[in-house]
């Protein structure tokens, strides 16, 4: 049996992002019917909003004024290899995933390690909606209305000490519940990391919802990281472990293909991916004939985060 290794995975996997983005328009233009088995109706159907409505959500001053993408765009076009490598796989394969009960194990350089129940960890905090423009490394972007808690507020509960230079995150490792983990696409569980300064920055969010509702499974339920000035793969989903470390952790993609995926992964139009340019992007949902737009440094958040990297060569430290 052939097993696809990371270096063999094409940039847009099964469905090219432009084709997927415009699938309805392309099918209509081509005169393809959705009957007679030619095209599965489920591919074309817009999913209904799901998940419990979150109450007392506050608007965040960090939100962009851009129009958010639709629920359909955000929940049917996902990179989430724990549920499959195709863009539509997570929406299908995560349907029966149950994110409750959930706990996060905290360890390392902190004064309050332990296993924290999700509800106890989240309930003391005020939820806020942040509309962030997030960019994938594959040159597409979305504007997403996340609901979450500043990561800094959660981290403070664990009281990291002066030796905590980095924060490492791990996704749940359970191949029975996450069928994509049965394939050796990556070295599971998925791992990511931030500097402590990045983790404590007010833009960094622990998301627990989307469009005012609990996170859908395919978007990382019950809790995921959002770092809006970095490429999307840094925003790890279904977080089950947090540890504070002295040494810089290596992320899963950094271990798999270090020439293509670095630790920092800051959005930088001046640094090309080895297999494609990152200077321009096409917004998901922009339409069939939309042209690509120039990519903004730090995804448009340069004024807020550039100081984190003073003195750092962003070409070498990509």
DSSP assignment of 76-118, as one string?
HS---GGG-SSTTHHHHHTTT----S-EEEEEESBSS-EEEEH
pLDDT at 138 (0 to 100):
84
The whole-angstrom separation of Cα 43 and Cα 23 is 9
pLDDT at 286 (0 to 100):
84
Q: Does residue 318 fall inside a structural domain?
A: no
pLDDT at 113 (0 to 100):
98
Model pLDDT for residues 115-144, shown as the tens digit of each residue: 999 999 999 999 999 999 999 988 899 999
Contact 279, 295 (CB under 8 A): yes
The whole-angstrom separation of Cα 315 and Cα 318 is 6
Q: Kindly give, in sequence order, each residue whose CB lies less than 8 Å from that of residue 84, ignoring residues fewer than 6 positions away.
A: 90, 92, 93, 179, 180
List C-alpha distances in Å: 171 to 32, 80, 312.
40, 11, 29
The whole-angstrom separation of Cα 21 and Cα 24 is 8
Q: Output DSSP code: residue 56.
A: S
SS3 category, 304: helix
207, with CB counted inside 10 A (0-12, 13-18, 19+), is buried
List C-alpha distances in Å: 72 to 20, 199, 239.
12, 30, 24
Contact 82, 178 (CB under 8 A): yes
Residue showing tokens 């349907």: 95
Q: How many CB atoms lie within 10 A of CB 310?
A: 6
Model pLDDT for residues 238-265, shown as the tens digit of each residue: 999 999 999 999 999 999 999 999 999 9
Sign of CA dihedral 23, 218, 195, 247: negative
Phi, psi (degrees; rounded to nearest 5) at 258:
-65, -20
SS3 category, 142: strand
Domain count, the chain: 1
Q: Does residue 317 fall inside a structural domain?
A: no
pLDDT at 11 (0 to 100):
40
Both tokens of residue 106? 């905290």
Contact 90, 83 (CB under 8 A): yes
Domain that residue 200 falls in: 7-309
Residue showing tokens 């009281």: 159
pLDDT at 3 (0 to 100):
38
Q: Does residue 314 fall inside a structural domain?
A: no
Profile the chain (318 residues) by mean pLDDT over runs of 10 residues. Answer: 44 44 47 36 63 95 94 96 96 96 98 98 96 91 97 98 98 98 97 98 98 98 98 97 98 95 96 92 84 94 98 93
Q: Does residue 82 fall inside a structural domain?
A: yes
CATH of the domain at 139: 3.90.420.10
Q: Does residue 88 fall inside a structural domain?
A: yes
Q: How many CB atoms lie within 10 A of CB 269?
A: 16
Give this prediction's pTM.
0.87
pLDDT at 257 (0 to 100):
96
Nearest to 194 by CA among 138, 250, 239, 145: 250
pLDDT at 139 (0 to 100):
83
Beta strands at 205-210 and 213-214: parallel, antiparallel or unpaired: antiparallel
């Amino acid at each position: 049996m052939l097993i696809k290794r990371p270096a063999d995975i094409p940039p847009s996997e099964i469905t090219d992002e432009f084709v997927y983005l415009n699938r309805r328009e392309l099918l209509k233009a081509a005169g393809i019917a959705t009957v007679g088995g030619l095209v599965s109706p489920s591919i074309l159907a817009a999913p209904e909003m799901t998940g419990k409505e979150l109450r007392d959500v506050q608007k965040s001053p960090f939100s962009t004024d851009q129009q958010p993408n639709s629920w359909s765009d955000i929940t049917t076009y996902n990179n989430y290899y724990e549920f499959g490598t195709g863009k539509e796989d997570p929406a299908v394969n995560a349907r029966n995933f149950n994110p409750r009960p959930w706990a996060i194990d905290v360890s390392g350089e902190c004064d309050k390690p332990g296993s924290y129940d999700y509800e106890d960890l989240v309930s003391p905090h005020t939820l806020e909606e942040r509309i962030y423009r997030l960019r994938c490394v594959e040159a597409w972007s979305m504007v997403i209305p996340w609901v979450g808690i500043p990561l800094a507020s959660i981290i403070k509960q664990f009281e990291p000490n002066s030796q905590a230079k980095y924060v490492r995150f791990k996704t749940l490792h359970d191949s029975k519940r996450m069928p994509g983990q049965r394939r050796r696409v990556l070295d599971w569980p998925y791992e990511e990391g931030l500097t402590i300064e990045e983790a404590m920055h007010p833009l960094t969010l622990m998301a627990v919802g989307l469009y005012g509702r609990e996170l859908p499974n395919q978007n990382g339920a019950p809790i995921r990281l959002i770092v809006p000035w970095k490429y999307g793969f840094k925003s790890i989903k279904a977080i089950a472990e947090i540890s504070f470390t002295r040494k810089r952790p290596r992320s899963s993609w950094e271990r798999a293909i270090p020439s293509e995926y670095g630790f920092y992964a800051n959005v930088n139009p001046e640094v090309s991916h080895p297999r494609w340019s990152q200077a321009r992007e096409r917004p998901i949902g922009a339409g069939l004939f939309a042209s690509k737009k120039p990519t903004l440094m730090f995804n448009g958040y340069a004024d807020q985060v550039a100081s984190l990297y003073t003195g750092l060569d962003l070409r070498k430290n990509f």
